[in-house]
A and B are shown apart, each in its own frame.
Chain A
Amino acid sequence: MSWTKKVLRINLTEGTCTPEPLNMEWTEQFLGQRGLATKYLTEEVPPTTDPLSPENTMYMITGPLTGTMASTAGRYSVVTKSPLTGAVACSNSGGFFGNEMKCAGWDMIILEGKSPTPVYISINDDKAEILPADEIWGKSVWEADEWLHAKHQDPQLRCAVIGVSGEKGVRYAAIINDLHRAAGRSGVGTVMGSKNVKAIALRGSKGVTVNDPKAFFEATTAAKKILAENAVTGEGLPALGTQVLMNVINEMGAQPTHNYKEVSFAGASKISGEAMLEPRESDGKPNLTRNAGCFACTISCGRISTIDPQHFSVQNRDDLHKSYHANSGGLEYEAAWALGSDTGIDDLDALTYAQFVCNEQGLDPISLGSTIAAAMEMFEEGIITTEDTGGIELNFGNAEAMIKCTELVAIGEGFGLELGQGSARFCEKHGHPELSMTVRGQEFPAYDPRSIQGMGLGYATSNRGACHLRGYTVASEVLGIPIKTDPLETEGKAGLQIAFQNATAAFDSAGICIFTSFAWSLEDVAPQLDAAIEGDWTPERLGEIGERIWNLERLYNEAAGVGASADKLPPRMMSLPANTGPAEGKVSGLDTMLPEYYAERGWSPEGDVTAETKARLGL
């Protein structure tokens, strides 16, 4: 079967690496990856634990399909208690790290305690070592990755690394693997940094076996055919990537602009996926070089781009890593809106540069851009001045200022370290918490809740704080997948969100990418799992597992003090109507949707998981 049934537990305080069996009983209830690691977290890390203390634990975990020939099966997740939100954190990444972990013979790597000095973890199949990282502590992800490859003399080495931001305590630091794939949200890189761990560098040569190879080949081939023939996964995503959404969301009046004051951005088309294809004046090349795929992916939505060599961000900058003058990953839609429309910046190359900085130093561009946007609003309102910003004229639309802030957050210095605490803490510190566009302390993604009502409910109830990847009802409300619903309606959105949230939790626990769900349902996932691992895996069982995972996360958050009391949107969403477009005059209908949501979840009217629901789900 495609589980190795082995866990590598690394105690950084003691300096030990100890193999232990995977809890197979829990895989029956929580599948793998997101669900399974959350179960470990809830059993091992008390909900009141300080996220940046040695008592917090970090789980890097694969799913049952990770490392197999199923499409997109290179995924792994990082689960821990978040230093940004205080809630459960689960960040999912692609690239080639997860499959390598599985091929080395490990389903999960657990980091517990805290090393007294900077270290990295070296894993070569069964051999695991904790090694000194003094030479790469203080270096960027890209520099550390090069050093690790040179030291181990292995071009196939796969590295997951934190940047300087993660070392310095920036609360939305990411873990970057394969140079530009990120376990991006909720500050999982910050937790890794707090443990004095710079990198995990691993190499696996064992391969992955499946339970029934013939059935698995048939199931995965049939599922790949669905992806290939689907217009979104077979054509749309490879051609323009996530950035194709920029114009769609802007045209429908749901584009967050100027710290969510407005819902459309005049410069949207200049920073869109289509704009990335236009040849520039300086060298006749477009921003986009090509698309890219992660391990085993047959969609290949990733972007590989260059920055205009004559752009101010890179021109005459010999101090920059050479990749700024060549290629890196991006620009993705979530980075483009947060660093672009939310800050009022329509300079495509400035945004690409900022995304490259996020890659190099391990930052979540959503939290970064949103925090800068909040600071810009406070600067324009006179709440903060150049005395606070270290001399930066932080007006909306100022690309130089956005870049300066990004560079400072990346190395956790001065005003950058203050911005690095996230929008909620920044706005609170300056006396205006209402200007922070966050839920549970995590910054909003790219869809205005006044214009796409279901997403507002999704942000408010998301277990990891505001997020689009926990219940992406944009698929239905905007794109018509699987069926079109009215984005301005609140009726029926509770049930829609719950369906998306439960299914997503199952996808996230299987070892595959959530983007397959544009074409696949759980009906398509179940046969692949059924052939890969022991047991009977049906779509119904996966749906129930998704619901169980959601409730488990919720119970942990309740005990951590960020349960029902945190199910709310910023006052701007509830009282400042959308200023233009189809949603003009509308605010979020959260007050209508939330009671329905609680009822349909089987929770109390106050939003607590009831004893009956716990019993039904075996929690």
Chain B
Amino acid sequence: MSKKITVKLFASLMVHLPVNSTKSHGFDYKIDETTTVGFLIDDLKLPRDVIHIVLLNGVYLDAETRDAKVLTEGDTLGFWPPVAGG
């Protein structure tokens, strides 16, 4: 059985959601033992110049090291453009 994670796209990155995604911004994505965040970004054709906040299970991944981060079964990976509020 293949392994999978949940990918979530928010704000202006929602235009990159697959057509079958749910209202909670998420969709399943199949991985193997070697799938990295960097591979996923390129595979989904997410715009690197727009991605700013990346949370893996709620934990921030910094821009320098995130590409090499290997994903594991059941992870939730969220992407945001630069956002702020208050």
Q: Interface of A with B (CB < 8 Å)?
A: 230-232, 235-237, 239-245, 247-248, 251-253, 269-270, 273-275, 278, 301, 333-334, 468-469, 472, 474-475, 478-481, 484, 486-487, 514-515, 518, 581-582
Give min CB distance, A363 to chain B, whole Å.
19
Give min CB distance, A138 to chain B, whole Å.
34
Residue pair A245, B83 in contact (C-beta under 8 Å): yes
Give min CB distance, B20 to chain A, whole Å.
16
Known: A243-B85, A275-B23, A469-B86. 11 other contacts (CB 8 A): A231-B52, A236-B81, A240-B83, A242-B86, A247-B25, A248-B83, A251-B78, A334-B86, A474-B86, A478-B53, A479-B83
Give min CB distance, B13 to chain A, whole Å.
10
Q: Assuming A236-B11, A269-B25, is B84 touching A479 (CB within 8 A)?
A: yes
Closest to A474 in B: B86
Contact with A along B48-84 (1 / 0, CB 8 A): 0000110101111010000000000000101011111
Residue pair B10, A236 in contact (C-beta under 8 Å): no
| Interface-central residue, B8, B58, B82, B86, by most chain A CB under 10 Å | B86
Whole-angstrom CA separation of A338 from B11 in the bound complex: 21
Residues on the A chain within 8 Å of B78, using CB:
247, 251
Can you list 10 A-B pairs, Cβ within 8 angstroms, ordered by A?
Answer: A231-B81, A239-B11, A244-B84, A248-B80, A252-B55, A274-B11, A278-B23, A479-B82, A479-B84, A487-B60
Residue pair B58, A232 in contact (C-beta under 8 Å): no
Whole-angstrom CA separation of A550 from B39 in the bound complex: 48
Whole-angstrom CA separation of A515 from B11 in the bound complex: 19
Whole-angstrom CA separation of A299 from B24 in the bound complex: 28
Residue pair A333, B85 in contact (C-beta under 8 Å): yes
Q: Assuming A269-B23, A269-B24, A479-B53, is B8 touching A251 (CB within 8 A)?
A: yes
Whole-angstrom CA separation of A474 from B83 in the bound complex: 11
Give min CB distance, B48 to chain A, whole Å.
13
> What total count of A-B pairs have CB within 8 Å?
98
At the interface, is chain B mostly helix, strand, loop or mixed?
loop
Closest to A277 in B: B14
The residue from B52, B55, B60, B86 contacting A472, defined by CB atoms under 8 A apart:
B86
Residue pair A240, B11 in contact (C-beta under 8 Å): yes
The residue from A243, A244, A478, A484 contacting B62, defined by CB atoms under 8 A apart:
A484
Closest to B23 in A: A269
Number of chain B interface residues as a range: 20 to 34
Residues on the A chain within 8 Å of B12, using CB:
235-236, 239
Give min CB distance, A151 to chain B, whole Å.
36
Residue pair A248, B86 in contact (C-beta under 8 Å): no
Residues on the A chain within 8 Å of B55, using CB:
248, 251-252
Give min CB distance, A481 to chain B, whole Å.
7
Closest to A486 in B: B60
Q: Assuming A236-B81, A236-B84, A237-B84, is B11 touching A252 (CB within 8 A)?
A: no
Residue pair A484, B84 in contact (C-beta under 8 Å): no
Residue pair B58, A236 in contact (C-beta under 8 Å): no
Residues on the B chain within 8 Å of A230, using CB:
82
The residue from B10, B80, B86 contacting A514, defined by CB atoms under 8 A apart:
B86
Whole-angstrom CA separation of A230 from B52 in the bound complex: 13
Residues on the B chain within 8 Å of A248, using CB:
10, 53, 55, 80, 83
Whole-angstrom CA separation of A484 from B59 in the bound complex: 12
Residue pair B23, A247 in contact (C-beta under 8 Å): no
Residue pair A232, B83 in contact (C-beta under 8 Å): yes
Closest to B62 in A: A484
Residue pair B53, A245 in contact (C-beta under 8 Å): no
Whole-angstrom CA separation of A478 from B62 in the bound complex: 11
Residues on the B chain within 8 Å of A273, using CB:
11
